[in-house]
């Protein structure tokens, strides 16, 4: 079963990375500005959402346009293009290197921490623009959700919430020692039971870890959902956002 997951993931990475790099040169991609869905009313809150491996912020920005709240600004940054070990060193948009599909396997600790600092700088820019940190949600899908979890839980500033879709908690063995300000903020973790890329079992293990670390963690499962989102999941996300960013 693990071999099936590994081969499926490698094929997914290869096809998605080839498609994106065939459309945009690697140097351009690393310089792409975040995709932003502006608030349509007075801007009082922000949601920063990180895409998955081999993707860009465009797809998720379109998704948030469908469920957006008028007072919320949605920011979808683009990952730089980097080689991915799990895919034979093929270069694609990636927040950090992925070396293993095992929950206890080797991880790119330096890359994860460097990426987290980059995301923290985006959060700082929002704070400088006048949005308090506790009016900012940090979220992501797959690798982006993993980075969102690690970044938010190691921050020294309080956030409004964490949104993690089809993802996992990286460097989980370093917790609870590295857990800082955001152990008591709302976390919504969603995962499809038929996910062949980030296995549902990884979501369950992350659920167990977060349940011990954080007091307001919620885990939602979606029967039959693969490595993607669904209308029901997005409705749940919209309802959760309305609660944490009223």
Catalytic residues: 142, 195, 227
Best CA proximity match to 226, nearest among 3, 49, 52? 52
User: How does DSSP classify residue 32?
Assistant: P
How far apart CA 71 and CA 73 sit, in angstroms, is: 7
Which residue's structure tokens are 């919209």?
238
Is the Cβ–Cβ distance between 60 and 51 less than 8 Å? yes
The helix/strand/coil state of 52 is coil
Q: Give me 103's structure tokens.
A: 């929950």
The helix/strand/coil state of 220 is strand
Q: Where are the alpha helices (DSSP H) in the chain?
A: 2-23, 26-31, 57-67, 109-128, 143-153, 200-213, 231-244
Class of residue 47 by CB neighbours under 10 A (exposed 0-12, middle 13-18, buried 19+): buried
Query: Cβ neighbours of residue 54 under 8 Å, at least 6 residues apart?
Result: 12, 13, 16, 17, 20, 92, 93, 94
Class of residue 50 by CB neighbours under 10 A (exposed 0-12, middle 13-18, buried 19+): buried
Q: Give me 151's structure tokens.
A: 């970044």
């Amino acid at each position: 079963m693990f071999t099936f997951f590994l081969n499926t993931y490698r094929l997914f990475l290869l096809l998605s990375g080839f498609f994106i790099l065939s459309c945009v040169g690697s140097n351009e991609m690393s310089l792409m500005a975040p995709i932003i869905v502006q608030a349509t009313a007075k801007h009082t809150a922000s949601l920063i959402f990180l895409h998955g491996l081999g993707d860009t912020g465009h797809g998720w920005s379109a998704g948030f346009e469908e469920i957006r709240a008028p007072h919320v600004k949605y920011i979808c940054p683009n990952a730089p293009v980097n080689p991915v070990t799990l895919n034979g060193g093929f270069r694609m948009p990636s927040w950090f290197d992925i070396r293993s599909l095992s929950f206890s396997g080797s991880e790119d600790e330096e890359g994860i921490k460097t990426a987290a600092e980059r995301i923290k700088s985006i959060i700082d820019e929002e704070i400088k623009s006048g949005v308090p940190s506790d009016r900012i949600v940090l979220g992501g899908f797959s690798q982006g959700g993993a980075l969102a979890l690690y970044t938010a839980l190691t921050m020294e500033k309080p956030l409004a919430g964490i949104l993690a879709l089809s993802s996992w908690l990286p460097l989980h063995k370093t917790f609870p020692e590295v857990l800082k300000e955001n152990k008591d903020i709302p976390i919504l973790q969603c995962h499809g039971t038929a996910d062949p890329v980030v296995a549902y079992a990884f979501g369950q293990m992350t659920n167990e870890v977060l349940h011990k670390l954080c007091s307001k963690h919620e885990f939602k499962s979606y029967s039959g959902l693969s490595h993607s989102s669904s209308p029901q999941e997005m409705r749940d996300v919209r309802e959760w956002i309305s609660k944490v960013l009223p």
